[in-house]
A = this chain, B = another copy of it.
Amino acid sequence: MGVKQRRARQKEGLREEILDAARTLFVKEGYESVSIRKIADKVEYAPGTIYLYFRDKAEILDKICEETFAKLIVRMQAIENDNADPLDKMRRAIRTYIQFGLDHPHHYVLTFIQAKMHGVGLTAFQTTGMQAFECMRQGVQECIDAGVMVSDDVDELSQTLWAGMHGLTSLLITCVGFPFVEPNRLIERMANTLVDGVRKKPD
């Protein structure tokens, strides 16, 4: 009777090993460049074995996307649980999001750019991903409740803010040849632009 559980544990162990290998390789070489055979080589199993633990290559990426979202949520919630001025928290959240992308560029690309283009990561996006977004949505709601926003449509505002952050993050990561000004200045400018753009105007 304990045999089944032990088997299950061993099986879980290899699954984790495959994920580790895949994560390392994906982050180092990119999703496309990593073949199932490379992953299999790294864990020292036959290529076919991978398919006993994952439906296909996309499912491996999906799991890694989930991890990325989870890490992002941790960072974002640290801000959420702070009793500072809502607009200041908003600014910090924007900086934090972009910095997260720059700290884990390959993870960011895998999760927010590459995954979508292979129709991958839908599962992760609809669960953990939405949870991460919800985190920021709450911050926006706080600002609205404080009466400092230009509109009271929490979705319209949070989606706009997300688009702004994502735009800078993805450009900084992917447009390697572009003559950007110093990234920190861009991040600061983006955070200020977005917050100033969505806050109530004095008149």
CA distance A198 to B186 in the complex (A): 12
Interface range for A? 35 or more
CA distance A199 to B145 in the complex (A): 26
Copies of this protein chain in the complex: 2
Residue of B nearest to A162 (CB): B171
Tell me what chain A mostly uses at the interface: helix, strand, loop, or mixed: helix
| A189-B160 in contact (CB<8A) | yes
Residue of B nearest to A155 (CB): B181
When the two chains form the complex, which single residue of B171, B178, B193 contacts A198, counting CB atoms closer than 8 Å? B193
A-B contact pairs, 12 of them (CB 8 A): A113-B174, A151-B189, A155-B179, A159-B171, A159-B180, A159-B186, A160-B186, A163-B167, A163-B186, A164-B167, A167-B168, A170-B170
